[in-house]
Structure 1
């Protein structure tokens, strides 16, 4: 832990691998391995708590109040209260209770330990009550903050680069199996942070080590407790078949449609965000009201559960594909519309991540389009996930991997189609985005900003 940067504090060294050649880097690897276990256990506990909160608030509480089942309107008061709690947390606790999800996956460095309570409380209120937001961003921030807090208890004069590496390792450990594989989680963090070249290896090696340890902890705790690992998993995938020319034509169309939809979702969230922040508590309460009303509209119009509009959609992807025959085209279109609006509204004020809702919206949209000629279910499902994911996250490699590896061998069969859909969506999304305002760093090489702050997501 005695590694010292070769440049001034807070700046990237001229030779990023200089950190690797110091004796202290071996200490960082040891720290990453040691911290991987408790941080992964904490992440597992956080996900278990979220799962219990969702069941308690949606199933047990209505029964305790005398209802025979959960009313379709139940989400409205639940999310209004959650919005108030999130608003109070953002207003009165240090930090901003985690990064703002409307801006994608933020990469502003390691989370400050003082911000951990705000991140945890806002995420629990958002995820537990049913806001359309995912758990990945809070886990990334909490893992980073816990790792930094742990090492600062023993030594407060750590070089900035060492703090960044430790924080990144904590994030790797926290999301080690959330996406179904520690490699997928590692790839998401790597691409989101914008790292490249030698600097990528400096952060990636201890991060992968922490993720490997964390994956073992997730699997062990899931088996010991009987709760599972809370990993994203899709089973009983219909045979994909061989890609056809018609499939490639659909890939072009799905890419364009996903880019338009994703741009609309993001822009509405960014439009609402500053207006909510003017009166944070009232604003987040109104956001909760809007999400609850959208869930009620879908439930009353289709006769299906309001929970299909609520929550991140992580656990709903598998039944959506498995029960696809039970959805009419109209029900799928309404589900996409209500989920997209609820997603956009949730991005404006609640706290969580943008990954899983984008996957669900894309999957439902792909299944709706699969009712048209020439588009098999599995191909539409996979292309929808990849195209919508890249439109919201702007991480093309991660989008391809998420859409294909989770489907097993059938995902590999449709990978060429997914790649086309992702590339088209990515291109159209970038073309639709407003040009960035010129700044003092205009003209700098891509990735230069990321090189100065190698740590992953923080608030």
Structure 2
């Protein structure tokens, strides 16, 4: 290996030190932009679903309130996808994608589609738009700093921007790094070379999030689940349940994804008619759940990011029937949102997995924390096909309980990942290539 190809030599080079400096400089403004995006989402959700009904004279938002908002969301998202550059970002029905940084001209469409999706009630999360926003802003800044920046260096800068924008949302820069590394498939020398600038940008971004929270008082916007009951150690019965939960999560995740992929081509052909119709059906599911159970329609709407903690801490207030109906309505709304809207698939999968764990905690030999942890890890792995990230998400979110419950999460996640892989058809090109390799 030559000195130029040696990663240790590259780390010592002046050009790499320059990349670290660029990552450090970009970490603060990109994290501030991500914080502003999340703050705007939270503000608009409150204005549209809480304050606007009051200003119109309603004592509280009427039961039908989500219908017009989600219909408008579908119409406007369809317009953004059709007429703005970049189609509003990649379709979340294809799964989580960390690559493919949008060009600067595509950023307005990505942000607009994400805001309309997240603020008006569709069931998707903010992580994919944040990754695209961070990477796109980093590329824009890199071009302004140096127009002739080599493509590999630009890729590192884009990755650092994505790290900075998404890491604190997940509660830990390390967790954000795992998500992006596993999704991008980086390994070997490129892993360490990309990781260092990304971690530096993410660390600075975490400080920016803390500072802005203290200054504005708006909140950290980081996913966390406090006030959980203590969990000591797994039982033998729970290990048996881990196998069943992994299998069930694989079936549910595959069904959600396949239904989204089944209807997506039809939505794309007649987007101005069918995307608003999707919004109306999602609203109908939320209204039906709320009217049947007496719970809030927000359990079904939105990504589930802010509702996840209250669902678990108030689990005793949900009957088994209410939780089962929530799983059905949220799962269908999630699948419909994947097919026509724009956002990320992570948070709804965590919420659905946690809801399934709450339902299973009523069974013999199953604890609440164990069921929630296994459900989150297994369904997240089935939807994202990122097993390491899924294990870390499910355990780190449970704070002090995470270490004790990790063996169960690993078993459930591995089963879900393997079964989902078996249920997922191979692409035609891959299958053909494999067949030719086997031929004499």
Shared fold, TM over 0.5: yes
Moved more, 240-249 or 375-384: 240-249
- Residue of structure 2 aligned with 1:237, choices 228, 240, 246: 228
Could you say which structure has the greater relative contact order, defined with CA pairs below 8 angstroms and 6 or more residues apart? 1
Q: TM-score, normalised by structure 1?
A: 0.92
Partner of 1:73: 64
Partner of 1:199: 190
Partner of 2:32: 41
Q: What's the C-alpha RMSD, in Å, of the aligned pairs?
A: 1.6
- Distance in 2 separating the partners of 1:396 and 1:154: 37
- Residue of structure 1 aligned with 2:414, choices 423, 432, 439: 423
Secondary structure of the residue that 2:428 maps to in structure 1? coil
How is 1:413-452 mapped onto 2 (pairs within 5 angstroms)?
413-439=404-430, 442=433
- Distance in 1 separating the partners of 2:421 and 2:7: 31
Partner of 1:254: 245
> Relative to total residues, which structure has the larger helix share, 1 or 2?
2
- Distance in 2 separating the partners of 1:149 and 1:52: 27
Moved more, 429-438 or 165-174: 429-438
Q: TM-score, normalised by structure 2?
A: 0.95
- Distance in 2 separating the partners of 1:208 and 1:440: 37
Moved more, 44-53 or 428-437: 428-437
Q: Label 1:25 to 1:378 Cα distance change in 2 as closer, same or farther (>3 A).
A: same
What are the Cα deviations for residues 203-245 of structure 1, in whole angstroms up to 9, with x where unaligned? 1110000000000000100111011110001111112232111
Partner of 2:356: 365
- Distance in 2 separating the partners of 1:264 and 1:390: 14
1:17 touches 1:199 (CA, 8 Å); kept in 2? no
How many Å apart are 1:248 and its aligned residue?
0.4
Partner of 1:395: 386
- Distance in 2 separating the partners of 1:100 and 1:19: 36
Secondary structure of the residue that 2:340 maps to in structure 1? coil
Partner of 1:330: 321
Secondary structure of the residue that 2:170 maps to in structure 1? coil
What are the Cα deviations for residues 295-348 of structure 1, in whole angstroms up to 9, with x where unaligned? 011001101110000000011111011100100000000001100000000000
- Distance in 2 separating the partners of 1:238 and 1:441: 51
Determine if the alignment matches structure 1 residue 289 to structure 2 residue 285: no
- Residue of structure 1 aligned with 2:88, choices 97, 122, 131: 97
Partner of 1:340: 331
- Distance in 2 separating the partners of 1:364 and 1:236: 17
- Distance in 2 separating the partners of 1:206 and 1:289: 44
Partner of 1:213: 204
How many Å apart are 1:17 and its aligned residue?
6.7
How is 1:74-223 mapped onto 2 (pairs within 5 angstroms)?
74-223=65-214
For structure 1, which runs of at least 5 residues remain unmatched after alignment?
1-5, 7-12, 444-459
How many Å apart are 1:266 and its aligned residue?
0.3
Partner of 1:455: none
How many Å apart are 1:438 and its aligned residue?
2.3
1:362 touches 1:381 (CA, 8 Å); kept in 2? yes
- Distance in 2 separating the partners of 1:95 and 1:288: 22
How many Å apart are 1:439 and its aligned residue?
4.9
Determine if the alignment matches structure 1 residue 267 to structure 2 residue 258: yes
How many Å apart are 1:89 and its aligned residue?
0.5
- Distance in 1 separating the partners of 2:23 and 2:98: 20
For structure 2, which runs of at least 5 residues remain unmatched after alignment?
435-440
Partner of 1:411: 402
- Distance in 2 separating the partners of 1:348 and 1:217: 34
What are the Cα deviations for residues 343-368 of structure 1, in whole angstroms up to 9, with x where unaligned? 00000011100000000000001110
Moved more, 276-285 or 212-221: 276-285
- Distance in 1 separating the partners of 2:394 and 2:41: 25
